[in-house]
Amino acid sequence: MFRFNPGYFLLSLLILGIEFCIAEYAHDAIIRPYGGDYLCVIFLYCLIRAFWKLPVLPLALAVLLFADLVEVTQYFHLADRLGFTKPSLMRTLMGYTFTWVDIGCYTLGIGTVLGIEKIKKNYGRFHTS
């Protein structure tokens, strides 16, 4: 089950770098609020696949469920209830504003993952080297 995959690891590092750039330099109304959420689930998926050989669909759904669960905790202001104040790393990781749009971004991100994994699978089936 444990297996290091350098391709997924490098991809997760690349996405993490993009996330940092978005956080630092994107101060707009589209990329920062939506692009970061979209990439977040892709990053988590790639990071997990970098270290564990897991089936694509169950892992993708688990990542989506996790992201949605975190979003639901924002609806109930769990960070505030646990005493995490601004600014704190835990408050930033947990988030503090629920929006349905974020859930849509997570879903779109996982949809992208599933689409790319399907293309990879089909390409591998027909590609001869």
Per the CB < 8 A criterion, the answer to whether 71 and 98 are in contact is yes
Average of pLDDT values for 84-92? 81
Element holding 47 (H helix, E strand):
helix 36-51
Q: What is the pTM of this model?
A: 0.89
The model's pLDDT over 46-65, given as tens digits with 9 standing for 90+, comes to 999 999 999 999 999 999 99
Q: Does the pLDDT of residue 129 top 70, yes or no?
A: no
Q: How confident is the model at residue 115 (pLDDT cuts 50, 70, 90)?
A: very high
Q: Residue 52: beta bridge partners? A: 2
- Name which of 15-19, 74-78, 82-86 the model is least confident about: 82-86
Per the CB < 8 A criterion, the answer to whether 110 and 45 are in contact is yes
